[in-house]
Amino acid sequence: AQSVTQLGSHVSVSEGALVLLRCNYSSSVPPYLFWYVQYPNQGLQLLLKYTSAATLVKGINGFEAEFKKSETSFHLTKPSAHMSDAAEYFCAVSDRSGATNKLIFGTGTLLAVQP
Amino acid sequence: IAGITQAPTSQILAAGRRMTLRCTQDMRHNAMYWYRQDLGLGLRLIHYSNTAGTTGKGEVPDGYSVSRANTDDFPLTLASAVPSQTSVYFCASSPGLAGNEQFFGPGTRLTVL
């Protein structure tokens, strides 16, 4: 069965510092991978997704993620944190071999940005 | 374009009562989903529908039922609410093909007392 593990339920960075949110997946076949962001009291919004076109994926708001098959990882990064990046971030995996588009979500990482 | 709407925004419900959470999308997406979000557990799939007229069980379907009479609407019903169903519920939709992103509604915060 597919699964996603997000290391670190809470991450705190200073404004202007590097953001690194970790995601490791478990899948028998190369999956589709997604990062979503959730701002307080809102639904989830797609940041970026990996569908095999390129291993380095660029998303909205300056975020990017790199698919590393050898490490089964899809970590999310941003060079310089902004106060507006404070939110909860979810990594998700979708089964490439299936005919449906069900997503399996990680437990989330809450990012705090300190001034 | 509204995308996905959910109603109500929030609700306090007595245990044992029946409740239907409404979800409507205007993107003509084939697939729709219901998730519940609980602290420390992320989002867990309750039920899904790949296309109008079909539904399937997700990870945590017990105590919930859904129907998909048309493309746009995907209501979630709690036949007899219990306190463990206190959660935030999100509806989502997607074109349905593997790899497509899911689009999420704003959520319904449900408290069962």
Q: How far is B9 from chain A (nearest CA, A)?
A: 10
Neighbours of B79 (CB within 10 A): 12
A25-61 residues labelled b (16+ CB within 10 A) or e (exposed) = bebeeebbbbbbbbeeeebbebbbbbbeeeeebebee
Q: Any idea which residue has 């507006």 for tokens?
A: A84
* Neighboring chain B residues of A37 at a CB cutoff of 8 Å: none
Q: How confident is the model at residue A97 (pLDDT cuts 50, 70, 90)?
A: low
Task: For CA atoms A25, A29, A30, A35, give the dihedral sign.
Answer: negative
Structure confidence at residue B30 (pLDDT): 93
* Neighboring chain A residues of B31 at a CB cutoff of 8 Å: 100-101
pLDDT at A98 over 60: no
Three-state DSSP at B34 gives strand
- From chain B residues 90-109, the ones with a CB under 8 A of any chain A CB are 90, 92, 94-107
pLDDT at A100 over 70: no
Most confident of A66-70, A100-104, B17-21: B17-21
What residues in chain B have per-residue pLDDT under 50?
none
Half-sphere exposure of B36 (CA within 13 A, CB side): 20
* Neighboring chain B residues of A101 at a CB cutoff of 8 Å: 31, 94-100, 102
- From chain B residues 14-53, the ones with a CB under 8 A of any chain A CB are 31, 33, 35, 40-45, 48, 50
Find the residue in B nearest to A100 (Cα): B98
Tokens in use for B61?
A: 């379907």
> What is the rounded distance in angstroms from the CA atom of residue B56 to the CA atom of residue B50?
8
* Neighboring chain A residues of B106 at a CB cutoff of 8 Å: 42-43
Find the residue in B nearest to A105 (Cα): B43
Contact A101 B45 (CB under 8 A): no
SS3 content of chain B, % helix, strand, coil (to 5): 5, 50, 50
Structure confidence at residue A27 (pLDDT): 82
Out of A96, A98, A103, whose CB is closest to B102? A103
